[in-house]
Amino acid sequence: MKKSRFFDPGWWKGCERRSMYRSFVRRVSRFFTVLFAGGASLSMMGLFIIILFNSLRRYTFGKSLAWGEELPVFIAVHGFMFGAAYAYMQDRHVRFTVLVAFLPRALVGKLYMILDIIMVGVGGLLAWSGWQFVLKRGAMETSALISLAKDIRDATGWEWIIWLGLNAPYQAAMVMGGAMLSVAALIRLLERRMEGEGPAGADSSNTRPVEG
């Protein structure tokens, strides 16, 4: 007579391992979700403050800060990278679902897992190409921030601050964005595998694709 799994110690150990795996994936997912959301929020906050301050200074004193127009662009790029990774984590990024809507749910789940694997590679390629760009042009000075960096260096004696006047920390947004996209796609892949379905379930509130 076949022994019930309820009395099988191996079955319970397997359940415990699966539970630990699910708990670990959820903790990692929450951490990176908060990180990406926080990065996007802080970027947009910094962008708003700089533009507001520069606008008030322009209309009050008739002159704006030289770096007040260049720095918001760099901040916006970093904010976009954080936002893209956060959107992928939430399954709220733009995608076309006209054909997917006619596919069986099980097939859709496998399709999205394949797309996650592809996006891990795409993020890696983006990070690699960004790093190559930094190596080639990162040492070039920015048009406006270099003057601010030099002024701070002269006032404080901090030689390392001149790095903020180079293109490297701002072009590195591609490296950071690619790495974050790969991490987000990998986590979503683990979550889909854990859930055994597509994008958090076809009826899930977390899935809000933009149809086209």
Type and span of the H or E element at 86: helix 71-89
What distances in angstroms separate CA 131 from CA 117, 175, 193, one per listed residue?
A: 22, 6, 31
From first to last of its 212 residues, the chain has per-residue pLDDT tens of 445 554 455 544 555 666 777 888 889 999 999 999 999 999 999 999 988 988 888 888 877 777 878 888 889 999 999 999 999 988 876 666 667 777 777 787 788 889 899 999 999 999 999 999 888 887 787 877 887 888 888 888 888 888 888 888 888 899 999 999 999 999 999 988 887 643 443 334 344 444 43
Pairs from 10-16 (Cβ < 8 Å, separation ≥ 24): none
> What distance in Å separates the CA atoms of residue 176 and residue 81, rounded to the nearest whole number?
8
pTM value?
0.75
Q: How many residues does the chain have?
A: 212
**Contacts (Cβ under 8 Å, ≥6 apart) of 211:** 96, 97, 98
Return the structure tokens found at 38: 């926080």
Sign of CA dihedral 84, 88, 92, 97: positive
Give bridge partners of residue 141 from the DSSP assignment: 166
Q: How do the domains of the chain map onto residue ranges?
A: 5-195
